[in-house]
Amino acid sequence: MTGTTGPMSGMLGPFAEFLGLELTEASGDRVACTWEARPALHQPYGIVHGGVHCSVVETLASIGAATWLGEDGQVVGVSNTTDFLRATRDGALTSVATPVHRGRLQQVWDVVTTQGDRVVSRGSVRLQNLAADHV
C-alpha cells in the first residue's frame, strides 16, 4: 500500500491513502488517480468491495470540487450514486473525475473507473459549496 507523495500528497487523508490512491492529476477541471485492486479491499466473495468504489468516487469528486472552489470555502458531499459495472479482483485501476456542473451553491462531478479499456464503475457526487464565512 502506498499513498501519494510530492505536491499532491496533502490532498489525500489517511483513508484515501489506505485505499492506495496515487493522484496523477488534480485541478478544478479534472482529477485522476491510479490504484490497485488487492485482497485488503475485497468483500467476502473476493472482489473489490462496492464501498471502495464509492469512496474513490467521493474522494476524487471532493478534490476536484475543493480545488475549483479554492479559498472561497469548502465542499461537502451530499449525494453519492455509484454503479458497479464489472467485478474486479486484482490489477491496476484508473479513476478520472470531471465536472458536470459547478455553480454558486453546488457542484456535480462524474467519476469513471476503468481497468484497461473496460469500465469497472462510474459514479456521480453532488457537493455543497460552503462559503468561507460560514465554515
Question: Which residues have a Cβ under 8 Å from the Cβ of 95 and sit 6 or more positions away?
Answer: 21, 32, 33, 34, 35, 56, 57, 60, 111, 112, 113, 114
Contact 122, 113 (CB under 8 A): yes
Tell me the three cell numbers of residue 73.
470555502
Grid look-up 488517480 returns: 33
**Using one digit for the tens of pLDDT, what is the confidence trace for 81-94?**
999 999 999 999 99
* Mean predicted confidence (pLDDT) in 106-113: 98
Distances (CA, A) of 21 to 6, 11, 81, 101, 124: 13, 11, 20, 25, 18
Per-residue confidence at 134, pLDDT binned at 50, 70, 90?
Answer: low
What is the overall mean pLDDT for the chain? 92
d(CA 115, CA 91): 8
Per-residue confidence at 8, pLDDT binned at 50, 70, 90?
Answer: low
pTM: 0.91
CATH superfamily of 15-134: Hotdog Thioesterase (3.10.129.10)
Can you say whether the dihedral through the CA atoms of 55, 61, 65, 71 is positive or negative? positive
**Using one digit for the tens of pLDDT, what is the confidence trace for 35-75?**
999 999 999 999 999 999 999 999 999 999 999 999 999 99
**Local structure of 60: helix, strand or coil:** helix
